[in-house]
Structures are given as structure tokens and as C-alpha cells.
Structure 1
Amino acid sequence: MAAGKFVVLMVMVLLMVEGSRAMTLCGMNDQGLEACKPSVTQPNPVDPSPECCKALKGADLTCLCSYKNSVWLGSLGIDPKLALDLPPKCKLQMPSFQKSMKLLSHVDVKMFANLVSVLC
């Protein structure tokens, strides 16, 4: 009986630790997404900060481009055109057109929930 309680306690601790870790979106963590938010939202977008460019440099740009036509961007206040303008402003090579036009077949619910909590 005591061993069963210990296992349940350990599982709960592991779930809490895993749940507290920051999620990433295409290689960008919460801080990177937050750093880029002022550059991708209207009405007065600003040039990307060094922190934003650093986050983009480590991100999977092809993955980020796959969100270009996502209905979720508008609901988060993100202007897709402004988002596509970020890599050149950070002097980063844009992924090929064909790769960036891939559409996602699904959206990871946890990732979307985390993105909403960071950007909203």
C-alpha cells in the first residue's frame, strides 16, 4: 500500500515538473515569442529587438512559415505579413518558398494554449 502511494506521489511530482517547463514553438521559447510580439502586432509594429532576432536565429523558420495561413494568428493579434518580414529585418535567410507554403495538418493543442498564454 505504501509503495502504491509513493508511485502516485512520484507521478504527480513528475507531471508538475513537466507541466512547468516552457513549451517551444518551432524552436522559439516563451521569451523569444514575447520578444518578437511588438514587431508582429498592429497598429504600431516596431523593428525587431536584438532578443527577437536572436530567438529567430535559433528557430526553425520553415516551421514558423507553416503557420502563415493559420486562422490562429489573427486571433492572437499577429499580422502574418509583419511576421514574414522579421527574418529579413534580422538579416536571416528566408526558407524556400515551397517549404514555407506547407500547411499544417493539425495544431498541437498544448502548443497553441502556451502560445496564447504568452502572446495574449
Structure 2
Amino acid sequence: MESLYKKIAIVSVVLVILGGAKAQTLCNMTVIGLLECKPAVTPAKPPPPTAECCSALAQADFKCLCSYKDSKTLPSLGIDPELAVQLPQKCKIPNPHKC
């Protein structure tokens, strides 16, 4: 039951963020940028990241993003943390913070 409450809380936060998507950021990425990257980090056969995803990722605070790697939040949102840490290389972003 606790897991259900956590998922509801996460969805609520996402909805609030989406309400002001242009103004809201996470680790220097806008919500729109994060949403652009979601297909590329969603199992089972993710497509390559889009140019828009890579552009948003180039502005990201990688140390901040890496802090979510071991979080249960990402999998609960359908994001594979291992795919997520591969994005900088796929986007050819030089010298990102290593997770």
C-alpha cells in the first residue's frame, strides 16, 4: 500500500511540474527536455535520443542527475537508470560527470 502512495505522490508532482513545464527544471533540464529524453531511456527497445533531448541534456547538471541513478523514483516512472547514464555518450556530450 505504501508503494501505491509513493506512486500517487510522484504522479502528483509530475502533474504539478507539467503545469509549469517551461519554468520548472530538474538538474538544469526543463521538464520538456526531460520528456524529450524519456523514450530513449525507456526499456525494452529504446530509440536513439532525439536532437532535442541531446540539446537539453547538454545543459544538464550531470552530478545532480547522477544522484537519481540509484533512486526508486526513475524505475517507478518507467525509466531505466542504466539507459539514462548512457545518454551523454549517445548524445556525444564531451566530458560529462561519470555516474
Band of TM-score, shorter chain = 0.7 to 0.9
**What residue identity is the alignment partner of 2:76?**
S
Show the 5 A alignment for 1:10-89. Answer: 20=20, 22-89=23-90
Cα distance in 2 between the residues matched to 1:30 and 1:22? 8
Cα distance in 1 between the residues matched to 2:59 and 2:96? 13
Cα distance in 2 between the residues matched to 1:56 and 1:62? 12
Cα distance in 2 between the residues matched to 1:88 and 1:78? 17
Q: Give ranges in structure 1 of 5+ residues lacking alignment.
A: 1-18, 101-120
Task: Provide the aligned C-alpha RMSD in A.
Answer: 1.5
Cα distance in 1 between the residues matched to 2:76 and 2:89? 25
Give 1:22 shift: 3.0
The percentage of counterpart residues that share the same residue type is 54
Tell me which structure has the larger Cα radius of gyration. Answer: 1
- Structure 1 ranges of 4+ moved more than 4 A: none
Q: Give ranges in structure 2 of 5+ residues lacking alignment.
A: 1-18
Cα distance in 2 between the residues matched to 1:81 and 1:94? 15
- Aligned partner of residue 74 in structure 1, secondary structure: helix
Query: What is the number of residues matched between the two proteins?
Result: 79
> Which structure's residues are more often strand, by fraction?
2
Cα distance in 2 between the residues matched to 1:27 and 1:46? 23
TM score, norm. by length of structure 2: 0.73
- Aligned partner of residue 79 in structure 2, secondary structure: coil
TM score, norm. by length of structure 1: 0.61
Report what 2:96 is aligned to.
94
> Which structure's residues are more often helix, by fraction?
1
**What residue identity is the alignment partner of 2:97?**
P
Give 1:65 shift: 0.8
Cα distance in 1 between the residues matched to 2:91 and 2:44? 21
Cα distance in 1 between the residues matched to 2:59 and 2:69? 19
